[in-house]
Structure 1
Amino acid sequence: MNLEYLEFSKLDINNEFFDSLRSDYKEFNEWFLRKQKEKAYIYRENSIMIGFLYLKIENSEVKDVEPRLPAKKRLKIGTMKIDAHGTKLGERFLKKAIDYAVRENALEIYVTVFPKHKALISLFEEYGFEKYGVKKTSNGEELVFLKTFSNIKNNILLDYPIINAKKSRKYLLSIYPKWHTELFPDSILNTESLDIIEDISQTNSIHKIYLTSMKIGGVRSGDIIVIYRTKDDNGPAWYRSVATSICIVEEVQLSKSYTLQKFLELGAKYSVFDEQELRKWHAKDGSFVITMTYNAAMSKRLTMQTLVEKIGLDKEEYWGFRELSDNQFKAIVKMGGINEDFIIY
């Protein structure tokens, strides 16, 4: 895997990747050496480091920004640097940061960034970070961006990963095991091998593309999708088919509504199919493209047995695609171990 979570002590402080950080922050080397036992996410391509992400949970008042941030549990994106062009690495790093905040139940994230890093600022703003203030040091003036999960804007990306279930319809959508783990790696089953998860664009992306020929009439932007992994070869569906994840629909289109070039570009970034398979999907009449955000992975997988006996789904209905009631969805969230601080009912 290209994405690693390593102690600072295992990294070469003299790596030229860090030169720009040394240029921006005079105290970088001293800071780096103080962090030897802490960890950061590292991304390498052909053994060359092109990405670095350091995250830290804070609870005290943040006094070195103006205005100060009051004492509260929040995540600080301490350092995020990317040497990559034309990739989705920034999105993948941001997803790691948001996932970390959710896991730690931190309802705010903040980051400081120099104004010259316009692409990074655009990325933060795209996912709901707002300019809060400034940080002034001997290195110059940085902008402070803050994302507060309780500040709801009724926008799928700005609110991500919040799941707004108030007026949304809810559906169960099935996916075969061979595609499930690659598309939803945080929802890997205990019996699956971590070795099969490649760190590729669609694996760690916020956005997912699901291609289907099932009749999904009526699905629209803002609807909620519960991902249901169908059974594997290790046992019957009653015990081996499981609900694993929650997504929010961004858009639903016929595959032919896209130009072939646009379809191939989207599919390469966010689907599990290669170009040959994507070309077949594009040419196929009645095939739909569901673009979704990947908002939550369940800590407890719910088997078909649980969904029938405890959630109330009808065993005899079609399990490829089916609508869920509000009560069924709430029960899935509760039994699936999803943090309800990130769901609006």
Structure 2
Amino acid sequence: MILERLSFKNINLSDPFFDSLKADYKEFPSWFAKKAEDTAYVFKNEHGLIDGFLYVKVEEGMVGDVTPPLPPTRRLKVGTMKINAHGTKLGERFIKKIFDHAIFEKVREAYVTVFSEHRPLILLLEKYGFQQVGTKTSHNGTELVLTKQLQGISEDVVRSYPLVRLAHQKAYLLALQPQWHTRLLPDSILKTETADIVQDVSHTNSIHKVYLAAMSGMEVLKRGDILLIYRTTDGQGPAHYRSVATSVCVVEEYRSLFSFKAQEEFLAYCRPYTVFEESELLTLWKTRKYPHVIRFTYNIALRKRVTRAVMIEEVGMDAGAYWGFMPLTHQQLVNVLRRGLVDESLVVNQA
């Protein structure tokens, strides 16, 4: 499942995928032609036909063609988003793309207009914090206007995504070996200070993750807890300098492997979001060696990796502790995030 970022001029408007958009928006073909040099995300199925299309752009000022008007600000407009759902996670990947662009462009709001009959799309947007704030009426009919604020935070960790609430939340360091880290958190191997952040990386580019581990003490994890992901040494030098903090995630759910009543229930839970292949999952189920099952959202890739040396010498973390899974103080987490050059707008430090 590879998303391509293509120029409009290289996208086939005659693909049947666009028929419904042409029906909903009479001006769609002429609008499409005017965008010849712009780019959009396109997903094609195994037959080469389009199954997903996403176009976003930055706007400045007031949005006056909706009721009530949106006040002046810099915001991201989701110009077009359509998905043919076939049981894939494409909708979620598009949502992640929207937020990737919003963060990269440093906007505080994203908005989209959608006809009310497109209920599955509306439910998807609402799941990640979009809310209806008005309507837009044109010769095509009346659409709903939904916005996502990238500053306020919800009580729900998914609706708050990609923001991270620090206040009153417990935080832990979670170590991943390099081979699992690369599979699980692809953005964390990018030079994220460049526009590469908005490129699709791999099939693992998703918001939700499932990971299995055997480290003691992990059963304390609760929804909303923060995970500082720590990639252990890659063997290219001393661990003191090659082991690094790379990412910030938020726990959605902790489950014991033994809470699953049957193999198929376990596979259905893990399969969509895990780093493990099905054969690996089957082995994990049979051996029961990794009893901790964690589902979490992948919120932030640190712009600068923070080494074990820095975390010990500057942040004050205990060199003698077990750096597999261990609690962090609020101040330790904040100090690591600052050294990782995390965008302060993504971190909410107050209650």
TM class by shorter chain equals over 0.9
1:70 is paired with a residue of what secondary structure?
Answer: strand
Question: Residues 56 and 77 of structure 1 are in contact (CA less than 8 Å); yes or no, is this contact kept in structure 2?
Answer: yes
- Mapped to 1, the partners of 2:166 and 2:296 lie a distance apart of 15
**Relative to 1, partners in 2 of residues 1:217 and 1:84: Cα closer, same or farther, differing over 3 Å?**
closer
- Runs of 4 or more, structure 1, over 3 Å off, are none
Measure how far apart 1:189 and its partner are: 5.3
- Aligned residue runs from structure 1 range 40-55, under 5 A: 40-46=40-46, 47-55=48-56
| Alpha-carbon displacement from aligned partner over 1:78-134 (angstroms, at most 9, x marks no partner) | 111111321111011001101211122211111101111111011011111111111
2:71 is paired with a residue of what secondary structure?
Answer: coil
- Aligned residue runs from structure 1 range 25-104, under 5 A: 25-46=25-46, 47-104=48-105
**Relative to 1, partners in 2 of residues 1:28 and 1:121: Cα closer, same or farther, differing over 3 Å?**
same
Question: Residues 187 and 201 of structure 2 are in contact (CA less than 8 Å); yes or no, is this contact kept in structure 1?
Answer: no
TM-score normalized with structure 1 length: 0.94
2:246 is paired with a residue of what secondary structure?
Answer: strand
- Mapped to 2, the partners of 1:267 and 1:44 lie a distance apart of 25
- Mapped to 2, the partners of 1:211 and 1:38 lie a distance apart of 41
Q: Are positions 1:164 and 2:165 aligned together?
A: yes
Question: Residues 133 and 146 of structure 2 are in contact (CA less than 8 Å); yes or no, is this contact kept in structure 1?
Answer: yes
Question: Residues 95 and 205 of structure 1 are in contact (CA less than 8 Å); yes or no, is this contact kept in structure 2?
Answer: yes
In structure 2, what residue type is equivalent to 1:33? Answer: A
1:110 is paired with a residue of what secondary structure?
Answer: strand
- Mapped to 1, the partners of 2:112 and 2:87 lie a distance apart of 23
2:240 is paired with a residue of what secondary structure?
Answer: helix
Q: 232, 253, 256: which is aligned to 1:254? A: 256
| Alpha-carbon displacement from aligned partner over 1:135-157 (angstroms, at most 9, x marks no partner) | 11111111111111333321111
1:72 is paired with a residue of what secondary structure?
Answer: strand
Q: 270, 280, 291: which is aligned to 2:283? A: 280
2:13 is paired with a residue of what secondary structure?
Answer: coil
**Relative to 1, partners in 2 of residues 1:257 and 1:285: Cα closer, same or farther, differing over 3 Å?**
farther
RMSD: 1.7
1:314 is paired with a residue of what secondary structure?
Answer: coil
Question: Residues 182 and 198 of structure 1 are in contact (CA less than 8 Å); yes or no, is this contact kept in structure 2?
Answer: no
Q: 336, 340, 343: which is aligned to 2:344? A: 340
- Mapped to 1, the partners of 2:18 and 2:9 lie a distance apart of 14
- Mapped to 1, the partners of 2:149 and 2:234 lie a distance apart of 40
In structure 2, what residue type is equivalent to 1:26? Answer: K
**Relative to 1, partners in 2 of residues 1:303 and 1:278: Cα closer, same or farther, differing over 3 Å?**
same
- Mapped to 2, the partners of 1:95 and 1:189 lie a distance apart of 16
2:52 is paired with a residue of what secondary structure?
Answer: strand
In structure 1, what residue type is equivalent to 2:220? Answer: G
- Mapped to 2, the partners of 1:313 and 1:151 lie a distance apart of 31
In structure 1, what residue type is equivalent to 2:339? Answer: M
2:14 is paired with a residue of what secondary structure?
Answer: coil
Gaps of 5+ in 1: none
Measure how far apart 1:222 and its partner are: 0.8
In structure 2, what residue type is equivalent to 1:90? Answer: G
Gaps of 5+ in 2: none
- Aligned residue runs from structure 1 range 55-204, under 5 A: 55-188=56-189, 199-200=202-203, 203-204=204-205
- Mapped to 2, the partners of 1:102 and 1:198 lie a distance apart of 17
* Count of aligned positions: 338
Measure how far apart 1:20 and its partner are: 1.4
Q: Which moved more, 1:41-50 or 1:19-28?
A: 41-50
In structure 2, what residue type is equivalent to 1:12? Answer: N
Measure how far apart 1:316 and its partner are: 2.1
- Mapped to 1, the partners of 2:240 and 2:190 lie a distance apart of 16
Instruction: Quote the residue 2:2 is aligned against.
Output: 2
| Alpha-carbon displacement from aligned partner over 1:279-328 (angstroms, at most 9, x marks no partner) | 23234066111110111111111111222222222222111111111111
In structure 1, what residue type is equivalent to 2:151? Answer: S
Q: Which moved more, 1:214-223 or 1:247-256?
A: 214-223
In structure 2, what residue type is equivalent to 1:106? Answer: V
In structure 2, what residue type is equivalent to 1:58? Answer: E
